[in-house]
Amino acid sequence: MTRGLAKQPLSWSSTFHDPDLDSEKVHLWLAYPGDNAPGHFGHDNSIWLSERERLRALRLSDGRQRALYLEARIGLKILIEAYTGLPRDRIALEYGPRGKPELDKPLQWLQFNYSMSSGYVLYAFSRDRELGIDLEIHPRDVQVGRLSNRILSKPEKRYFDNLPKTRQQVAILDWWTRKEAYGKLLGVGIRYNMNQTNLLQDPEACCWKSPVSGLFDDVQDSPGFGHVYGIQIELPTEGSATLMYNSPDFNHPHPDIQAFNFASIKPD
């Protein structure tokens, strides 16, 4: 296995009991619906989806991407029901000022984010932390030099260029997940100047802290926190993944991460 950046090892549990999601924890869920049509989780559950979700699916021209999007949203509703007790057919998502999905006010104590790649879906849930997560399943053919010029800050590029060539393919995918998870945490996705944002800090550590800067000209539109934290996480399959979050407690910035396989929760 060709190593990229340092990663946090996790034990991906195949068992799951009642959700116990306190303020010190973040739960990750990895699902593999594959290329199946909607119904992978037992039967056709598309009735749980909103008109907006169904219309977005119709706009996806690739059938596999459409099926994965539908499965991802259905899986999200199943997990939200597990955490909140609200029946999944009554779960409605709202969208923040920059388009980030969230729950309506009575349920906003539950924060979430998810990412899809090559048939996999990775979910993240927290009680009181804003979250951003990104996933890239390997192998993925990318133009390493062009992508590194596009997304890496000057300090990151200097470090990247000194990596052995055998590590650069995986390393640039690791960095891409950092950049996209950062943007998803802040609600801008990839619509920002990635090469002006430095997410390097200690290059040999899987955890880091980064200032929020250069994205919000209007103070009223700022995210309300000055720093974000990140962890490059180790998956049970070949891939790159990053979890980004804010921290309500500066004395304990990094959460206890518990990781589960989606098959460990059995939807009705």
* Domain residue limits, the chain: 12-264
131-137 vs 101-103, strand pairing mode: unpaired
CB atoms within 10 A of CB 55: 10
Q: Look at residues 63, 78, 51 and name the one whose alpha carbon lies nearest to residue 260.
A: 78
What pLDDT shows up at residue 219? 42
What pTM was estimated for this model as a whole?
A: 0.91
Fold adopted by 12-264: Ribosomal Protein L22; Chain A (3.90.470)
d(CA 93, CA 112): 11
Planar angle of CA 76, 82, 84, nearest 5 degrees: 95
152-191 tens-digit pLDDT? 999 999 999 999 999 999 999 999 999 999 999 999 899 8
**Cis ω for the linkage preceding 164 (within 30 of 0):** no
d(CA 184, CA 189): 5
Classify strands 227-232 and 120-126 as parallel, antiparallel or unpaired: unpaired
Supply the pLDDT for residue 36.
44
Helix axis angle, 154-161 relative to 165-186, nearest 10°? 160
Mean pLDDT per 10-residue interval, the chain, length 268 residues: 86 79 92 59 66 86 86 91 90 83 89 95 94 96 96 96 96 97 92 90 88 61 79 96 90 90 66
Q: What angle do CA 215, 217, 219 make, to 5 degrees?
A: 110
